[in-house]
Amino acid sequence: MTKKEFLCELEEALSGIPKEEREERLNFYGEMIDDRIEEGISEEEAVSDLGTVDEVVWQIIDEIPLTKIAKEKMKPKRKLKAWEIVLLAVGSPLWLSLLIAAFAVIFSLYVSLWAVAVSLWAAFGSVVASGFGGIIGGGILVVGGEVPSGIALIAAALVCLGLSVFFFFGCKALTKGSVVLAKKTVLGIKKAFVKKEEA
């Protein structure tokens, strides 16, 4: 793929982001290709070293805030006609309530995702606290003369502390997974805003 083809495809793929941002990125990648060519690499190699157009687009979209992309997409392409304004005003009770409901559902799913992670960390904390509490309680029972009960409580506490190690790694993995899922969700929303415009 030549530099011109790469930049044309990149410009088409980035049609949903603000114009200034798009031009800045195109200039950046054009200069990057030129620099590689000056170093003695062929044009095709310089372009292929950057990766595919889709990979570059995902990287660019990841760096741009969602608000910028949404503003660009929501900007009217033309002035609204009087009948369109009236239709928007009359239909607002319906579409506004549906929009609010959609945002509420998305927000509740996001909160639920993190509520599971927080709940598991709280359970991990309680298992660790139970282990230390059991050791202290078992020690008190042994000193008080109830040796079998004290030893049983200490053994149960040690089991809790042993299991808490596995619990910790599970909670850590779930938290990392939640972060990755949240990032991919935001990136997917951004990608939906920056879809290629139909000709």
User: What type of residue is 131?
Assistant: G
CA distance 60 to 187: 11
Give the pLDDT mean for 164-175. Answer: 94
CA distance 120 to 104: 24
CA distance 7 to 32: 12
- What percentage of the chain has pLDDT greater than the value 90? 37
Cβ atoms 169, 156 nearer than 8 A: no
Structure tokens at 17: 């982001």
Of 64-68, 87-91, 167-171, 184-188, give the lowest mean pLDDT range: 64-68
Give the pLDDT mean for 8-32. Answer: 83
Of 37-51, 52-66, 126-140, give the lowest mean pLDDT range: 52-66
pLDDT value, residue 71: 66
- Whether pLDDT at 196 is above 50: no
**How many angstroms separate the first and last alpha carbons of the chain?**
23
- Between 93 and 152, whose confidence is greater? 152
Task: Give 75's DSSP letter.
Answer: S
* pTM value surpassing 0.95: no
Q: Of 128, 120, 115, which is closest to residue 163 (Cα–Cα)?
A: 128
Distance of CA 148 to the CA centre of its chain: 52
